[in-house]
Amino acid sequence: MGMAASQARWLALTARKTNVEYEGQQINQARTALANKAANTFSELLALEVPTAPSTQDFTKIKYSYMEGNITEFIEDMTQLTNDPDGFNYMVSHFHYADVFTGIENKLTNPQVILDAGNNPAYVGNCELVPYDPTNTMEKAAYEQICRDWPNSRFAQADPSEIFKWVFQGQTRYACLEDLRRTASSGPDSSTPSENQDKLFYYIAQDMNQKIERKEKAIVDINNQGRVQSVMYEDSSATYPVITSTETDTMAYEDAMNQYRYNMEVYEKRIADINAKTEKIQEQDRTLELKLRQLDTEQEALQTEMEAVQKVIQKNIESTFKTFES
């Protein structure tokens, strides 16, 4: 190989070696970027909070009750008192359920109120209207209860002589004349006045199971486990032994379980996404690592060839100088 050819080859090898080194730098930079992505992905994984399944204990509470005659009374809340002059140590809220005679307001859809020619009540649907009878003990009690519970209604403000009743499926219903007239005249088609009438206000009175609440001072005896054993209220000398029971809010617990299942699905999806992202980063890094190894191999081959060319050039130089020396 001549001097010029050797030098040209040397320059080509040098250029290629420089290019290989540059490619290697680019790959190392890409791998550094992938390493940063992997670190961020790992941080994302560490930041995930594993959902915790709810415990029935979290939805179970202690209930206190006692018998007052044949009524079960429940203790709802207790607030500790300090330095009470009468010696009571708690303010206790308690309640029981009882049937309470109650006036109820309703609206009747499609009432089909028909009044006679004198504009007096006649029918509600197929039920005949008759005047309310104040001498009837049951009717009087119902009327008075409705007036107490609905004092601002037209019913309560009407004269008792303008209160009418009808019986539907065994239930006695009451309405005032003004409401009956309003509904009877509301039909949009004069040829069929009982069709498409406005709703009719009517009233009934019946026993309704209601929560009866009281709040009063009491002497509460609590055992060393922190549970109530007995209670005596300020307005009574009776001491009531307290029954302890537990109650689990199963609906709230099931709601919490449903939320937990959803949270687990979201968590597992996030884990799967992070694993997929990590696998993709690792695959890209393996590809870059393989390419870097190939460049290393090429670099070694170039270095070997450059050393060989360097020797040829050196020999050419030596032989040239020997020619001039002779």
The residue ranking higher by pLDDT, 232 or 189, is 232
Instruction: Reply yes or no on whether the pLDDT at 216 is more than 90.
Output: yes
**What pLDDT is recorded for position 9?**
73
Structure tokens at 98: 């009882």
In 3D space, the residue among 19, 27, 13 whose CA is nearest the CA of residue 293 turns out to be 27
Residue, of 20 and 62, whose pLDDT is higher: 62
More confident residue, 238 or 292: 238
Q: 166-213 pLDDT, tens per residue? A: 999 999 999 999 999 999 989 887 778 778 899 999 999 999 999 999
- With a cut of 70, say whether residue 162 has pLDDT above it: yes
Answer for the pair 72, 65: CB distance below 8 angstroms, yes or no.
yes
**Mean pLDDT computed over 80-91:** 95
Task: Tell me the average pLDDT of the chain.
Answer: 89
Express each pLDDT in 253-281 by its tens digit. Answer: 999 999 999 999 999 999 999 999 999 98
What pLDDT score does 320 carry?
66
Select, from the ranges 19-28, 225-234, 308-317, the one with the highest average predicted confidence (pLDDT).
225-234
Instruction: Transcribe 100-157 into DSSP letters.
Output: EEEEEEEEESS--EEE-TTS-EEEETTEEPEE--TTSHHHHHHHHHHHHH-TTSHHHH
Q: Where are the domains of the chain?
A: 3-51+255-325, 62-248
Rounded (10°) CA dihedral 269, 274, 278, 284: 80
- What's the predicted TM-score (pTM) here? 0.55
pLDDT tens per residue across span 15-45: 877 887 888 888 888 888 888 988 898 888 8
